[in-house]
């Protein structure tokens, strides 16, 4: 089979030389030389999806510097790379792109799965509906580097193991080379390994002598017994309330009630507006509003001079099994106040007006709610899914979402 | 020509109509999801006229892991480590935001030493994150040296974190009531050393990049976002402050003991890329200021309050907000009793900041899109969650 993935010419040389006496040794030497060169000039692809990418960058930067291992020229295009380090989680939407990237790389090509996510899904193995549980479900992986994320040193070790693999793979007699060339040239990895083993052996013998001498000098010595770590006890402290930034709750609610008399506090309906201040300075105003007044109220809250809620923090939804709640959180950069507005929606075919005309930023938030909860926003300029593929079945953040093909349920 | 058939093959999400004129030089260009300047797996589709940008449509979801769904089936304590993986460059601050919400729900207090540890660690994290951003920002604009410089100082802070909690990136260090372990004895001397080192380094950075005329030419008056637009998009952090709106959670709604420290919130004037860049550099100086004050008055005592075997939040909803290195991170927990949350929503700063990209990029050249992306400083897993 000759040198796996090598060019046709190299294969041909092997075939020709094989016939002559002693030729096989020459072939072995050529094969060794080619794989040695290949192992020491890996060109990685710039590919990182999540946290592990940071450690990959750290491995490539000043302190750890993977250029020492010949892994220097990080390429942005797969057509010039021969190593892909799967740094980070791979999700369904990215899966096709990853396979394309792998196919675009010229052979021989190698894959390192870095971190738990690329190995098996890691912390996102259970309950998640979008994560592919391991890079090897898509492309063949050569070396697995465990960790979440692995240290740069771990990645460097993974690269060294890959180099070891490359040096041996595809050769007819992977381990025979040392018979051909008595001393392997420039195989620093093996040399260092042997050196360390010799040093350790030497140290062990020194230690053994020292231990024996110690026993002769102190015949009554007994090693101390391991003790249980004393568990430190901490006091239970009461929480200090934060400085009253939300003292305006009462005024705000009164201002709202003046314009919209049919609103009430969420889950506090028995409390009158006079006593909003009783809920303390840390209480976040959480107002339940009727669906018809939704748009008008958001407009009012933004433009009223007393309220001036000028920044939309988030727009989200909660699935209460029997109905949905749309939750809008607004912030005032003028008086540092935040408040929630919530609006109840029926379970079947939930829909509400969009507030993109008031806050441009609501556009993506609404798309997210549409994607994950299936709530439509009437008049939205671009009502598409934002995170998931267009053909994804169902809306995953609904409580009744079930998809056994994608989700592995946590068994405890 | 069948216009309907052509329209069906056009890329999704564009507002501006396709120009069917034969003399027009408009075309579409895909960028990402695997692209070095998108800092991960963001995908942009650009509509260009020659080299000028007409419209940008970002496509998200290439790292959408369903964090919020996973969180619903884990106990409150188990969820702390998931917050690390939101914005992994400010994982301590994410932990803090989550712990603050639980502390609010259960009325857990934190001893003074614990609060000091929190503030110091968070500021170190902010500097660490900004250092990485500085290196990558330079590299995006073609200055590879900055990448190596930024990482050099960053490793000093990473070493402190490593000694502190054993992790370099995903810390899982803070707990409701403080942190899971006290700081080692070497902590204060090492922070002092880092402060000295950083002061020297920041001067060097300014000489190397900030005052570089090529860098200034490439960033000044690029990607301008006025304050009204920034507010409308819900931008926070340095993107909002660069547009002239002074809102920093540490100052305007102080959590932990930020109200006891003296620091300024730098504000920009124009709202361009250079303003955003300058602001981040100044934020590092302010963080050093906080660290210096904290080192001087670092108290003795317990580092945390009483541990609990399990944290069961009473029925209700709880919200906390913190200022991460990128902006306002909100943690919203809905509890229905029991050991697991009913729903968790993270309000991610990058999600809103990135939304403003189209407004900033229109009319600029394609190379300026990279500049804008670099100064927006986003982390894609936080956008997608």
Domain ranges of chain B: 3-59, 75-311+320-329+349-384
Q: Number of helices and strands (H, E) in chain A?
A: 11, 10
Structural tokens at position B325: 């290195």
B311 touches A: beta carbon within 8 Å? no
Per-residue pLDDT of chain B (385 residues; tens, 9 = 90+): 566 666 667 788 787 777 777 778 888 888 878 887 777 788 899 988 888 898 899 998 898 988 888 888 888 988 898 898 888 888 999 999 999 999 888 888 889 999 999 999 999 999 999 999 998 888 888 888 888 888 888 899 999 999 988 888 888 899 888 888 888 888 999 999 999 999 999 999 998 888 888 888 888 888 888 888 888 898 998 889 988 888 888 888 888 888 888 898 998 888 888 888 988 999 999 999 999 999 999 998 888 888 888 888 888 888 998 999 888 999 999 998 888 899 999 999 999 999 988 888 888 898 889 899 888 888 888 888 8
- CA gap B132, B374 in Å, rounded: 11
The pLDDT tens digits for A9-22 are 666 776 777 777 77
The closest of A85, A108, A106, A86 to A39, measured between CA atoms, is: A108
CB pairs under 8 A between A and B: 225
The pLDDT tens digits for B96-146 are 999 999 988 888 888 999 999 999 999 999 999 999 999 888 888 888 888
The minimum CA-CA distance between B275 and chain A, rounded to whole Å, is 20
Which helix (H) or strand (E) covers residue B13, if one does?
A: none
Q: Is the peptide bond before A330 cis (omega within 30 degrees of 0)?
A: no
CB contacts of A385 in chain B (<8 Å) are 61
Helix axes A152-168, A51-60, angle to 10 degrees: 70
- CATH entry 1.10.645.10 includes domain B75-311+320-329+349-384: yes
Sign (positive/negative) of CA torsion B303, B305, B311, B317? negative
The closest of A97, A100, A139, A96 to A118, measured between CA atoms, is: A139
- CA gap B175, B130 in Å, rounded: 25
Task: Check CB contact under 8 Å for A51 and B69.
Answer: no
Task: Give ipTM to 2 decimals.
Answer: 0.90
* DSSP letter string, A364-407: HHHHHHHHHH--EEET-TT---SSS-TT--S-TTSTT---TTTP
Question: How many other C-beta atoms can be found within 10 angstroms of the C-beta atom of residue B372?
Answer: 23
- CA gap B55, B48 in Å, rounded: 7
b/e for B47-56, b at 16 or more Cβ within 10 A? Answer: bbeeeebbbb
* Residue B381: φ, ψ to 5°: -60, -25
Which segments of A76-187 does DSSP mark as H helices, in order?
92-104, 116-120, 152-168, 177-180
The minimum CA-CA distance between A157 and chain B, rounded to whole Å, is 17
Task: Check CB contact under 8 Å for A387 and B384.
Answer: yes
Angle among Cα A295, A298, A299 to the nearest 5 degrees reads: 85
The DSSP symbol for B299 reads -
Which helix (H) or strand (E) covers residue B318, if one does?
A: strand B316-323
Q: Is A199 exposed, middle or buried (0-12, 13-18, 19+ CB in 10 A)?
A: exposed
The minimum CA-CA distance between B217 and chain A, rounded to whole Å, is 26
* Residue A338: φ, ψ to 5°: -120, 150
CB contacts of B351 in chain A (<8 Å) are 364-365
pLDDT interval class at A181 (50, 70, 90): very low
Q: Which domains does chain A have, with CATH numbers?
A: 8-167 (3.40.50.12280), 249-378 (3.30.460.80)
B341 touches A: beta carbon within 8 Å? no
- Could you give the maximum distance between any two Cα atoms of chain B, in Å? 79
Q: Number of helices and strands (H, E) in chain B?
A: 16, 8
Sign (positive/negative) of CA torsion B167, A146, A162, A164? positive
CB contacts of A336 in chain B (<8 Å) are 247, 252-253
The pLDDT tens digits for B245-303 are 888 888 888 888 888 888 989 988 888 888 889 889 999 999 999 999 999 999 988 88
pTM (predicted TM-score):
0.85
CB contacts of B247 in chain A (<8 Å) are 311, 333, 336
The minimum CA-CA distance between A26 and chain B, rounded to whole Å, is 43
Task: Check CB contact under 8 Å for A62 and B151.
Answer: yes
Mean pLDDT across the stretch A290-318? Answer: 85
Contacts of residue A117, defined as CB under 8 A and 6 or more positions apart, other chains included, come to A50, A52, A88, A89, A90, A123, A124, A131, A148
CB contacts of B334 in chain A (<8 Å) are 318
């Amino acid at each position: 089979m000759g040198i796996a993935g090598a060019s046709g010419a190299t294969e041909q040389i092997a075939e020709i030389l094989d016939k002559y006496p002693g030729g096989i040794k020459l072939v072995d030497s050529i094969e060794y030389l080619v794989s040695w060169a290949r192992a020491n000039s890996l060109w990685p692809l710039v590919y990182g999806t999540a946290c592990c990418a940071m450690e990959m960058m750290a491995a490539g930067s000043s302190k750890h510097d993977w250029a020492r291992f010949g892994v220097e020229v990080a390429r942005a295009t797969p057509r010039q790379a021969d190593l892909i380090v799967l740094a980070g989680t791979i999700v369904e939407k990215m899966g096709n792109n990853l396979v394309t990237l792998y196919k675009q790389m010229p052979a021989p090509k190698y894959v390192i799965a870095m971190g738990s996510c690329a190995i098996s899904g890691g912390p996102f193995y259970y309950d998640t509906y979008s994560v592919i549980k391991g890079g090897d479900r898509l492309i063949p992986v050569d070396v697995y580097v465990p960790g979440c994320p692995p240290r740069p040193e771990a990645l460097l070790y993974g690269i060294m193991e890959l180099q070891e693999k490359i040096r041996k793979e595809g050769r007819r007699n992977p381990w025979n080379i040392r018979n051909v060339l008595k001393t392997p040239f420039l195989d620093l990895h093996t040399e260092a390994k042997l050196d360390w083993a010799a040093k350790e052996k030497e140290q062990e013998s020194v230690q053994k002598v020292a231990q024996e001498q110690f026993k002769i000098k102190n015949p009554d010595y007994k090693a101390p017994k391991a003790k249980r770590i004393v568990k430190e006890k901490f006091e239970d402290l009461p929480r200090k309330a934060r400085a009253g930034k939300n003292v305006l709750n009462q005024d705000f609610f009164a201002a709202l009630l003046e314009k919209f008399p049919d609103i009430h506090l969420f889950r506090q309906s028995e409390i009158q507006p006079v006593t909003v201040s009783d809920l303390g300075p840390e209480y976040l105003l959480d107002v339940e509003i009727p669906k018809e007044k939704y748009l008008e109220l958001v407009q009012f809250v933004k433009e009223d001079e007393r309220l001036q809620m000028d920044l939309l923090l988030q727009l989200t939804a909660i699935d209460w099994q029997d109905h949905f709640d749309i939750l809008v959180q607004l912030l005032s950069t003028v008086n540092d106040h935040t408040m929630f507005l919530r609006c109840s929606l029926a379970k079947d075919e939930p829909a509400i007006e969009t507030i993109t005309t008031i806050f441009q930023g609501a556009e993506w938030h609404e798309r997210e709610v549409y994607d994950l909860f299936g709530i439509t926003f009437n008049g939205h300029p671009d009502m598409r899914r934002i995170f998931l593929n267009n053909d994804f079945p169902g809306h995953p953040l609904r409580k009744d979402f079930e998809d056994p093909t994608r989700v592995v349920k946590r068994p405890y | 020509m069948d216009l309907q058939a052509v329209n069906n093959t056009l890329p999704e999400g564009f507002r501006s109509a396709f120009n069917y004129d034969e003399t027009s030089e408009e075309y579409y260009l895909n960028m990402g999801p695997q692209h070095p300047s998108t800092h991960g797996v963001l995908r942009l589709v650009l509509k260009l006229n020659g080299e000028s940008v007409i419209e940008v449509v970002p496509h998200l979801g290439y790292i959408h892991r369903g964090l919020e769904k996973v969180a619903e089936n884990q106990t409150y304590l188990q969820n702390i480590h998931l917050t690390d993986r939101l914005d992994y460059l400010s994982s301590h601050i994410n932990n803090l935001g989550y712990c603050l919400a639980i502390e609010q729900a259960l009325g857990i207090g934190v001893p003074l030493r614990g609060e000091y540890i929190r503030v110091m660690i968070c500021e170190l994290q902010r500097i660490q994150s900004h250092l990485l951003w500085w290196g990558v920002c330079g590299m995006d604009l073609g200055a590879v040296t900055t990448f190596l410089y930024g990482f050099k100082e960053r490793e000093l802070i990473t070493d402190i974190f490593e000694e502190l909690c054993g992790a370099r990136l995903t810390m899982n260090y803070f707990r409701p009531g403080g942190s899971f372990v006290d700081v080692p004895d070497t902590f204060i001397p090492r922070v002092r050393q880092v402060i000295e080192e950083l002061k020297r380094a920041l001067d060097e950075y300014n000489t190397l990049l900030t005052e570089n005329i090529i860098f200034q030419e490439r960033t000044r008056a690029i990607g301008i976002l006025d304050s009204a637009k920034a507010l409308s998009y819900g931008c926070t952090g340095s993107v909002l402050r660069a547009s002239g709106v002074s809102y920093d959670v540490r100052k305007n709604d102080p959590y932990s003991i930020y109200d006891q420290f003296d620091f300024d919130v730098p504000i920009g004037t124009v709202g361009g890329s250079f303003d955003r860049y300058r602001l981040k550099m100044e934020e590092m100086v302010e963080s050093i200021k906080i660290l210096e004050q904290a080192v001087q008055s670092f108290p003795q005592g317990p580092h945390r309050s009483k541990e609990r075997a399990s944290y069961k939040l009473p029925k209700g909803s709880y919200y906390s907000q913190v200022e991460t290195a990128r902006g306002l991170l909100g943690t919203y927990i809905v509890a229905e009793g029991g050991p697991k949350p009913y729903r968790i929503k993270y309000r991610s700063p990058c999600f809103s900041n990135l939304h403003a990209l189209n407004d900033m990029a229109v009319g600029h050249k394609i190379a300026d899109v990279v500049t804008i992306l670099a100064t927006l400083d986003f982390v894609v897993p936080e956008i997608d969650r």
